[in-house]
């Protein structure tokens, strides 16, 4: 079996969404995962005795020397893909699968050489490739496996299949390809000649050479086209023929499969965070030595839990009295949606004991005993995704006090950036234990649809979950101390979880009629854009079809070409924005308007679906998504509500003050990231710029450009603002040039001048990376760590990505921590003051409160004091506050 490495890796890259496959350090892994999965499945199905993977060495081959425009139309390799090629190579090396390259030749030529030699030696040969040129190798003993859907479905090309599909024999396929041309390789064909005509000629004349010799016999316009393009198709014929005698470092005999280096394979999969048991099992099944021995501890079923199913009156009270004094783990089956929920089952585990009960079946005495025990802070408790459990239990009238462990939050703090926090995954990873049946879903909810006679099994399964939570809690006590996260866990993340649970239950009032009116308004504007676009094009078309847009913009209208992509020329938003500046044609502007309105309408439709019967929207806050510690929200995503346009701000007017309250109050930090950068860098000039009380960007611009403050124009200020914020986000000179629309050299010069004025910032940015490289992690002002092992990677792309994260994490993470401290301080101060006002939302650096009648001035003073005093920065925190009847009116 011979594989075209680059071809199949590219297929995998585009088959799996890159955003779903990233390590905690940000390294994309979709191509590696897809390639390894495809390889495992194909080896399993085909059982080859000999195996190799061929790779292109570079685009400089004998073909590009013959035809400089060969493959010149291909866009630059995406950085996200390039950084994975080396990882695929490392995995193949650990599997002892030969990977072969040859200077001046393509992977196809390597495969052609090995396939020809292997067939001559009596082998059955399978070629796995997405390049149709390999079809010329198909024969009695050579089969091509060609991907027809991502990398999961392969079509088997035999001589009969080639003839059926293309109407020619495999030997004639290069003749067909030469006449047809190959857009993917930038080989021009004959205008008007497709595969059917090309196949007809090849069959009529017997061969390409014979067709060329008798070209005069082809009549009509098509014959003229053939003769006019003879030189180019003759060149095509040379280039489409694969070389079968490339000098290679390995022969067929050297490709016999060898046992894996199992520890090396395991280390690579762990570093890439490939923890899916099914995936790992399939990869190890490829090992010729057998897959019985694995690199990870054997995963076993969870321990048998000899727990009590509590149904008799008084049983729960007695169990709590005997076992509930020490740390107790709680697992539950519950539902939650649109601000309401119900707890269906509860399991407890403490010491060697466990219990299960149905909340609906509790008598009054047991319910009161459990309610009191649950709220008692002196009885420590362990939960999984505590916020969700607190939220659901509150609907039952239960408040949880004394939470000392949250296994999901602990896993997040130990490994920020990991994607999965389900209980089954954590149990398997940390306890080498399989939880069955279902374990906690991403939401933290459990689901058991057991028939009546299996109710006991479901109860035992839930007790197994509780036991796993208890064991994980004990394990994480030590782990968090080892990584210096224990204080952050107990003093910040657990209290924030409790506050967020309350905020999610409160929700925020929504004006359904206003949202409905906006939806109609945006729908009408979308239709107007469609009508205008049809008029501009001269005929109807689908505005959502990239193919039709390409035909109209670049074909019918002849507008300037945008960036070349696989399917033609890009019509994304950046391309349309550029086009709008290059032409007086109104269509690009109409298309941009259409997309903007469609996005706004989608946002409003999503909001309408989440308005509860009580007229409030209950978002869910995510504590464990951003590796920097920032909160995000979903269902709906309130960070996605636009604020820069009037139409976007109109959506914010739908969030209103609720019944029984006087107004909404919003408060956020001004330039918190830059203040943190000034604090961390200890740059006196930057600190002084903040302390002056003048406009920061104007003050900095006057120093960088060496002009008086009143001589700083809008463009100067824009450049400095972009760069100042960019530095806080790890922006490179190239990234700055793209953002400002200037040349990279000018952007680099701007950064150099900035650093001359603010040397402390320059030194800080350099030192923070070098310090992180030395210790392996960055740290925020509050001690939140982000581990970046790729800072010492030999892979340049991985290393540079980790360096950008090292620049970004301390500033962004410190901002996230300060906002959380401010939230806790404000909430505590409201309680201590006995006020009825409450916190509803946290979005970016802003918090939104619902103010009780007569409390506005007191709440505003309290919020300003608590937020400004959240952390003592050298460039002091500055708080902006506003109030009004809706979110937009409360802007400041």
- Per domain, the residue ranges of the chain are 2-166+243-255, 301-506, 510-617, 673-808
Q: How far apart are the first and last CA of the chain?
A: 66
Pairwise CA distance, residues 325 & 879, whole Å: 44
pLDDT for the residue 95: 95
| CATH class entry, domain 673-808 | mainly alpha
Q: What is the dihedral of CA 461, 467, 473, 474, to 10 degrees?
A: -150
The burial class, CB within 10 Å (0-12 / 13-18 / 19+), for 291 is middle
Q: From CA 135, how far away is CA 113, in angstroms rounded?
A: 14
Position 304 scores a pLDDT of: 64
**Residue 609 is inside which H or E element, if any?**
helix 587-609
The answer to whether the beta carbons of residues 778 and 788 sit under 8 Å apart is yes
Show the tokens assigned to 22.
Answer: 């990233």
pLDDT reported for residue 378:
97
Which residues, at least 6 apart from 388, have a Cβ–Cβ distance to it below 8 Å? 334, 336, 443, 444, 445, 501
Total number of residues shown for the chain: 892
Architecture field, domain 2-166+243-255:
3-Layer(aba) Sandwich (3.40)
The whole-number pLDDT of residue 620 equals 96
- 69, with CB counted inside 10 A (0-12, 13-18, 19+), is exposed
- Write down the pLDDT at residue 439: 38
pLDDT at 300: 52
Residue 568 has a pLDDT of 83
Answer whether 562's CB lies under 8 Å from 575's CB.
yes
Which residues are within 8 A (CB) of 415 and not within 5 positions of it... i.e. 6 or more apart? Answer: 24, 787
Q: Within the chain, which residues score under 50 in pLDDT?
A: 291-298, 437-453
Task: Give 301-506's CATH code, choosing from 3.40.50.300, 3.40.50.720, 1.10.3720.10, 3.30.420.10.
Answer: 3.30.420.10
CATH number, span 510-617: 1.20.1060.10
Strands 568-569 and 564-565 come out as antiparallel
Q: What is the pLDDT of residue 24?
A: 66
Check residue 638 and give its pLDDT: 92
Give the Å distances, CA to CA, from 837 to 391, 452, 766, 860.
20, 47, 45, 11
Q: What pLDDT is stored for residue 446 in this prediction?
A: 38
């Amino acid at each position: 079996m011979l594989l075209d490495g680059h071809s199949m890796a590219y297929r995998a890259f585009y088959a799996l969404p890159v955003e779903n496959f990233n390590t905690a350090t940000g390294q994309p892994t979709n191509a590696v995962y897809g390639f390894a999965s495809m390889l495992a499945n194909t080896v399993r199905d085909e059982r080859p005795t000999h195996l190799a993977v061929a790779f292109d060495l570079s685009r400089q081959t004998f073909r590009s020397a013959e035809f400089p425009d060969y493959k010149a139309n291909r866009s630059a390799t995406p950085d996200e893909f390039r950084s994975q090629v080396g990882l695929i190579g490392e995995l193949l090396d650990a599997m002892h699968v030969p990977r072969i390259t040859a200077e001046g030749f393509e992977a196809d030529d390597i495969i052609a050489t090995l396939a020809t030699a292997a067939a001559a030696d009596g082998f059955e040969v399978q070629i796995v490739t997405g390049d149709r040129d390999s079809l010329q190798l198909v024969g009695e003993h050579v089969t091509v496996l060609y991907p027809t859907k991502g990398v999961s479905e392969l079509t088997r090309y035999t001589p009969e299949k080639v003839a059926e599909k293309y109407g020619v024999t495999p030997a004639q396929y290069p003749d067909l390809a030469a006449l047809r041309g190959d857009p993917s390789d930038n080989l021009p064909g004959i205008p008007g000649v497709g595969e059917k005509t090309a196949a007809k000629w090849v069959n009529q004349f017997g061969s390409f050479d014979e067709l060329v010799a008798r070209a005069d016999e082809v009549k009509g316009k098509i014959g003229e086209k053939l003769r006019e393009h003879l030189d180019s198709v003759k060149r095509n014929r040379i280039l489409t023929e694969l070389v079968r005698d490339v000098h290679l470092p390995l022969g067929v005999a050297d490709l016999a499969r060898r046992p894996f280096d199992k520890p090396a394979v395991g280390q690579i999969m762990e570093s890439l965070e490939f923890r899916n048991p099914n995936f790992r099992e399939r990869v190890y099944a490829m090992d010729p030595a057998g897959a019985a021995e694995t690199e990870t501890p054997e995963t076993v079923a969870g321990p048998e839990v000899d727990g009590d199913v509590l149904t008799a009156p008084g049983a729960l009270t007695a169990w709590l009295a005997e076992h509930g004094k020490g740390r107790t783990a709680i697992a539950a089956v519950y539902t939650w949606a649109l601000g309401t929920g119900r707890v269906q089952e509860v399991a407890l585990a403490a010491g060697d004991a466990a219990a299960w009960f149905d909340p609906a079946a509790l008598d009054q005495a047991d319910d009161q005993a459990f309610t009191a025990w649950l709220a008692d802070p002196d009885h420590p408790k362990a939960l999984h995704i505590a916020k969700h459990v607190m939220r659901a239990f509150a609907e039952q009238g239960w408040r949880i006090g004394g939470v000392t462990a949250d296994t999901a939050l602990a896993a997040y703090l130990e490994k920020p950036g990991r994607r999965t926090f389900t209980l089954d995954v954590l149990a398997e990873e940390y306890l080498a234990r399989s939880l069955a049946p279902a374990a906690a879903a991403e939401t933290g909810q459990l689901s058991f649809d057991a028939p009546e006679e299996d109710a006991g099994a479901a109860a035992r399964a839930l007790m197994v979950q509780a036991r796993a939570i208890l064991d994980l809690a004990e394990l994480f006590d030590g782990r968090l101390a080892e990584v210096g996260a224990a204080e952050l866990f107990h003093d910040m993340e657990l209290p924030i979880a409790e506050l967020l649970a309350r905020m999610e239950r409160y929700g925020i009032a929504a004006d359904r009629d206003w949202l409905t009116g906006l939806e109609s308004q945006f729908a009408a504007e979308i239709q107007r854009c469609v009508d205008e676009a049809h008029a501009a094009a001269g005929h109807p078309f689908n505005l959502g079809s990239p193919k039709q847009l390409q035909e109209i913009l670049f074909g019918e209208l002849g507008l300037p070409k945008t960036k070349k992509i696989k399917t033609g020329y890009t019509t994304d938003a950046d391309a349309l924005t550029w086009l709008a500046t290059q032409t007086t044609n109104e269509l690009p502007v109409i298309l941009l308007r259409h997309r903007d309105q469609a996005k706004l309408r989608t946002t409003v439709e999503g909001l309408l679906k989440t308005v509860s019967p009580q007229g409030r929207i209950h978002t869910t806050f995510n504590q464990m998504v951003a590796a920097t510690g920032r909160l995000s929200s979903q269902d709906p995503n309130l960070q996605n509500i636009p604020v820069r346009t009037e139409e976007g701000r109109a959506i914010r007017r739908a969030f209103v003050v609720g019944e029984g309250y006087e107004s909404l109050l919003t408060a956020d930090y001004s330039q918190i990231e830059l203040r943190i950068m000034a604090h961390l860098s200890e740059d006196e000039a930057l600190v002084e710029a903040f302390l002056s009380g003048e406009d920061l960007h104007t003050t900095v611009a006057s120093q960088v450009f060496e002009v008086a403050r009143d001589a700083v124009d809008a463009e100067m200020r824009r450049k400095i603002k972009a760069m100042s914020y960019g530095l806080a986000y790890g922006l490179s000179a190239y990234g700055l040039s793209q953002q400002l629309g200037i040349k990279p050299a000018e952007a680099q010069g701007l950064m150099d001048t900035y650093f001359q004025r603010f040397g402390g910032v320059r030194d800080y940015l350099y030192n923070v990376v070098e310090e992180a490289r030395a210790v392996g992690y960055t740290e925020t002002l509050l001690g939140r760590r982000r581990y970046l092992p790729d800072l010492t990677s030999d892979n340049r792309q991985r290393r540079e990505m980790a360096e950008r994260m090292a620049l970004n994490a301390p500033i962004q993470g410190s901002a996230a921590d300060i906002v959380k401290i401010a939230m806790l301080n404000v909430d505590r101060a409201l309680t201590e003051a006995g006020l009825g006002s409450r916190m509803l939302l946290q979005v970016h650096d802003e918090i939104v409160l619902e103010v009780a009648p007569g409390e506005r001035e007191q709440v505003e003073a309290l919020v300003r004091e608590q937020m400004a005093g959240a952390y003592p920065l050298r460039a002091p925190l500055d708080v902006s506050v506003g109030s009004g009847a809706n979110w937009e009116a409360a802007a400041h």
